[in-house]
């Protein structure tokens, strides 16, 4: 049977052999109501519902397991019909509900400081797999924000990521504002260009270091797709776009948190309008590196801000269950 989850309204219309009005009713039921019972779709005759049930199913599946952090963060483990495993993180507070989704099972970018990189590449996730992480059980209330900062490199599975973003932002879909969806990348220049031309969602570049030769050691993609080139693409795409461009800078003590690195960041980002998110480092198993102290992170933030560069320190969540940045797949065998 064909899964409805992952289809656009027009694709649902073609599958169900129904008009646009009925297709929109099915899409609204699927992406907003989260129901498994096709008989509950409003606006369809019983005969149409029965015909739909003969050829299709909702396609929403349960996670295999979950872990709850002491800070309330929840990590879900999913396994799709092909046996690919991937993790999702749910972070909630009174103001917002954020889901950190994966775009691949594993990753082939090979960054040494990321647990997902050590896990290896197991395959791309389908649009259905990506959307299930937002629609799946265990998420109470409306999801307000989505970040593609889980397992995988979104630009390496771009067509499925773009389609998932289309469904998330469509009025007939999840109706999440594009300004509340952020896609993070280590940088694949053609993918970044296509992404910025194709949707209005936010983009975050994982930088690690302002110096190309140093970044190359930790972000192998730097060799083919230099960060400076990608930052120029991001800068030029800002005109007329209601989206945020940012740099994620994970700070490691005595590795990328020196005065030289701070000055390098200033030189690289001054007058670009690109925001800097400073993140604490979480050691992967077998790694002796540690995060920069908070005093250093606060100093970086202060110096960037007084230099005219917007900056913030992002609070870590779920580290005790290996749900924080760079740790997804730590719990997988």
| Cα Rg, the chain, nearest whole Å | 21
Q: Does residue 325 have an active-site annotation?
A: yes
Q: Choose the catalytic residue: 5, 18, 85, 87.
A: 87
Residue pair 13/24 in contact by the 8 Å Cβ criterion: no
Q: Please, how many CA atoms are within 13 Å of residue 217, restricted to the half-sphere of its CB?
A: 7
Q: Does residue 214 have an active-site annotation?
A: no
Partners of 333 in the β-ladder: none
Residue that the structure tokens 């963060």 belong to: 73
Residue that the structure tokens 């800070």 belong to: 71
Q: What is the DSSP string of 114-151?
A: -HHHHH-EEEEPPHHHHHHHHHSTT--S---EEEE-SS
Residue 149 — φ and ψ, nearest 5°? -130, 20
Closest CA to 196 of 235, 151, 167: 235
Token digits of residue 81: 């019909």
Residues belonging to the active site: 87, 325
């Amino acid at each position: 049977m064909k899964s409805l989850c992952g289809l656009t309204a027009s694709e649902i219309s073609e599958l169900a052999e129904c008009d646009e009005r009925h297709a929109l009713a099915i899409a609204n039921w699927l992406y907003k109501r989260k129901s498994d019972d096709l008989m509950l779709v409003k606006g369809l005759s019983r005969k149409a519902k029965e015909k739909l049930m003969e050829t299709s199913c909702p396609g929403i599946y349960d996670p295999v397991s979950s872990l709850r952090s002491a800070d309330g963060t929840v990590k879900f483990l999913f396994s799709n019909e092909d046996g690919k495993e991937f993790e999702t993180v749910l972070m909630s507070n009174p103001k917002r509900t954020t889901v950190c989704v994966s775009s691949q099972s594993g990753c082939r970018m090979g960054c040494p400081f990321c647990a997902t990189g050590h896990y290896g590449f197991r395959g791309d996730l389908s649009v259905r797999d990506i959307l299930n992480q937002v629609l799946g059980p265990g998420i109470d209330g409306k999801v307000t924000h989505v970040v593609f900062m889980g397992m995988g490199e979104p630009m390496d599975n771009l067509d499925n990521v773009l389609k998932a973003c289309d469904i998330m932002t469509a009025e007939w879909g999840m109706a999440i504002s594009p300004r509340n969806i952020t896609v993070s990348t280590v940088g694949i220049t053609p993918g970044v260009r296509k992404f910025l031309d194709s949707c209005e969602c936010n983009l975050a570049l994982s930088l690690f270091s302002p110096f190309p030769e140093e970044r190359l050691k930790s972000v192998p993609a730097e060799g083919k797709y230099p960060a400076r080139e990608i930052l120029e693409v991001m800068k030029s795409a800002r005109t007329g776009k209601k989206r945020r461009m940012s740099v994620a800078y994970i700070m490691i003590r005595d590795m990328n948190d020196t005065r030289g690195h701070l000055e390098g960041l200033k030189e690289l980002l001054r007058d670009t309008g690109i925001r800097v998110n400073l993140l604490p480092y979480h050691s992967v198993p077998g790694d002796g590196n540690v995060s920069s102290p908070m005093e250093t992170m606060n100093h970086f933030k202060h110096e960037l801000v007084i230099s005219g560069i917007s900056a913030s320190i992002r609070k870590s969540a779920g580290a005790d269950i290996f749900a924080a940045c760079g740790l997804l797949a730590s719990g997988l065998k």
